[in-house]
Each structure stands twice: as structure tokens, then as C-alpha cells.
Amino acid sequence: MTISETTRIDKWLWAARFFKTRSLATDAVELGRALQNEQRVKPAHSVKLGDLIEVHQAEQVWQVRVLRILDVRGSATVAQTMYEETAESAARRAKAAEDRKYYREPAANLNGRPTKRDRRQIDFTRG
């Protein structure tokens, strides 16, 4: 594994296993779902040790501090040594997971338009 001083943010996000492919990491940075030091950056922007990276993935928001920079994707255990999650981020993610555990959005199981049977059930629950 190659250890360096800086690397591209999309490459670092991929190597740290936040995204499955490097193109997904690139797209996330371009869309503003990955921020560096609370600012939008381009995918080629360099990541340095100590930088604060905020990653928005689906319902989760990770806020991590860069501890190590690698150019290649390694195992999950190696990837976990590349960053340290902030305490506030861990607490927010734990609270969000608990909220999801106890509350489910009623429409989350519906795919597309409701069927006639689904519509009757919706109408029945509304009264």
C-alpha cells in the first residue's frame, strides 16, 4: 500500500470504503454530498492529514477526521484506520438508527403507485 502526504478526495473516499466505486465517490463530491472542511470541493481536490470530511450517504451523515492517506483500496480493517469519526457524528448516527428502529414511514414499503388493495387499506387507516 502506498502512503502519501496528499491524495484526491474521491480517491480517499473510495479507499476509506465510504463508496463502492471511485465513480460513485466522484459523483458524490460533484453533487456536494461530500464536503471537505465544511466546503464543497471538486473531486480532484487534495485531502491532507487532519482535514474534516463530511459524507452524506442515503440517511446517514458521517463526519470524520483524516488520520491516514492511502492511494489504494485495502481491507475494511485498514480502511477504518484511515479516519476517526467525531463524537457528535457518532451520536447523531446512533440516534437516527434508534429513530428508524422505532418508527417506519408508512409509505416506505410501497413501490410506485398504490394498488386497489393498497388504496383500500390506506383509506381504512385514515378513517
When pLDDT is averaged across residues 29-40 and rounded to a whole number, the result is 95
Query: pLDDT at residue 107 above 90?
Result: no
Q: What is the mean pLDDT of the chain?
A: 90
In the structure, what pLDDT confidence band is assigned to residue 39 with cuts at 50, 70 and 90? very high
pLDDT tens for each residue of 65-103: 999 998 889 999 999 999 999 999 999 999 988 888 887
> What domains are there in the chain, each with its CATH number?
7-105 (3.10.290.10)
Residues 81 and 67 sit within 8 Å (Cβ to Cβ)? yes
How would residue 34 be classed by pLDDT, with cut points 50, 70 and 90?
A: very high
Measured CA to CA in angstroms, residue 76 lies from 13, 20, 62, 92, 93 at distances of: 13, 12, 16, 23, 20
pLDDT value for 62: 94
Contact present, 14 and 50 (Cβ < 8 Å): no
Question: Is residue 61 exposed (0-12), middle (13-18) or buried (19+ Cβ within 10 Å)?
Answer: middle
